[in-house]
Amino acid sequence: MQLSGDQKLEAYRRMLRIRRFEEEGMRQFKAGKIPGPFHVSMGQEAAIVGSCLALRADDAMTGTHRSHGHPIGKGAHLDALMAEVMGKEGGICKGRGGSMHLADRSVGIISESAIVGGGIPLATGCAFSAMVRGVDQVTLCFFGDGAVNQGTFHESLNMASLWKLPVIYLCENNGYAITTSVARSHGQPDIALRATGYGMPGVTVDGQDVGAVYEATARAVTRARAGEGPTLIVAKTYRFDEHSFGLVIPGEPYRSSEEVDTYKRDRDPIELYRTVLLEEGINQGSLGEVEEEVSEAVKQAVTFALASPLPRPESLPDYLFNSPVAAAHSNPERN
């Protein structure tokens, strides 16, 4: 199960879309256009895109607080996404979700959450829904290494294994839960071994290699669709920036500048994959066209977002609750 020719160029395009979107987001954050924290996933693009490319359009997905990349990895348009992180009415969630609570049903993203491990039970429930409905949709669940020590992780994996739910749990192990390393917070730092206790496959993969992540996820998806249950995939990756962009963490550095520089220089997933594509015969011109296309799409997204209005304060209550009675009256077919 390897990436096809068309998928290879698409993988490069999507990784580059994540990188350029977040680079532009950092500029807009500095300019005061993005409210609240802004968590970037630069360095983790291969883990995101490789896994998303193994999904169908109708498959579901949950994310984390660091989730601008996840909708882009599954093919989301950039305009409404940029407007959302700016808190604008033209955003995916009309500016109400912001940077950490995105949901984009158009690409199957049912939720992203600032709560550590918050998406894990939601993904499990979504997979249960697919089983009850008798469809072969799968759910891909992203979370970080810090979430592995949350109770929701263990409860969800146990339930998914017991009921053989069609869900893939993908841990983006970037080595640090904010400032706490895996070595200091996990009694068993080999996270994939946790799967053994729940009777499911546990796979560790190079999270900087988009092709390797795709192959591992494709195998897990095939298994899930066949009714054989969940898989835990641990993608070993690296976060280039701080936990949150612009965050100054007091005290002694929790990681050395040499470590960060080494990953940026030698393990940048986009540069690694660009080299692979050139070695496989994809010419420089084709890659240049993709790079220009991505740059233009990001510029358009910023223009759209800046022109979009802010939500009206009086509309604040409109999205706080939903009345099933009102919904039934507004849709006669449901009566």
Convert the pLDDT of each residue in 229-282 to its tens digit: 999 999 999 999 999 998 888 888 999 999 999 999 999 999 999 999 999 999
pLDDT-derived band of residue 131, with 50, 70 and 90 as boundaries?
A: very high
Residue 191 CA to its chain's centroid (Å): 19
Contact criterion met (CB below 8 Å) for 39 and 48: no
pLDDT at residue 284 is higher than 90: yes
State the pLDDT at residue 329: 63
The whole-number pLDDT of residue 328 equals: 59
Share of the chain above pLDDT 70, in %: 96
Both structure tokens of 176: 């640090």
CA gap 100, 69 in Å, rounded: 11
Percentage of the chain modeled with pLDDT above 90? 84
DSSP designation for 187: S
Residue 332 has pLDDT above 60, yes or no: no
Q: What is the mean pLDDT of residues 292-304?
A: 98
* Residues pairing with 234 in the sheet: 171, 204
> How many residues are recorded in the chain?
335
Which run of H or of E encompasses 298? helix 284-307
pLDDT at 334: 44
Structure tokens at 13: 């395009």
- Is the confidence at residue 325, as pLDDT, over 90? no
For the cut 60, the answer to whether the pLDDT of residue 16 exceeds it is yes
Place of tokens 């429930």: 125
Q: Which fold would CATH assign to domain 5-334? A: Rossmann fold (3.40.50)
Helix count and strand count (H, E) for the chain: 12, 8
**With DSSP H G I counted as helix, E B as strand and the rest as coil, what are the percentages for the chain, rounded to 5?**
50, 10, 40
Say whether pLDDT at 335 is over 60.
no
Q: What is the pLDDT of residue 272?
A: 98
In terms of Cα–Cα distance, which of 149, 71, 145, 60 is closest to 110?
Answer: 60
Q: Tell me the mean pLDDT in the region 26-37.
A: 95
Query: Where are the chain's structural domains?
Result: 5-334
- Write the secondary structure of 14-74 as one string of H (helix), E (strand) and C (coil): HHHHHHHHHHHHHHHHHCCCCCCCCCCCCCCHHHHHHHHCCCCCCCEEECCCCCCHHHHHC
The answer, as to whether pTM is greater than 0.85, is yes
pLDDT exceeds cutoff 90 at 185: yes
Look-up of token digits 């409210």: 35
Give the whole-angstrom CA distance, residue 231 versus residue 219. Answer: 9
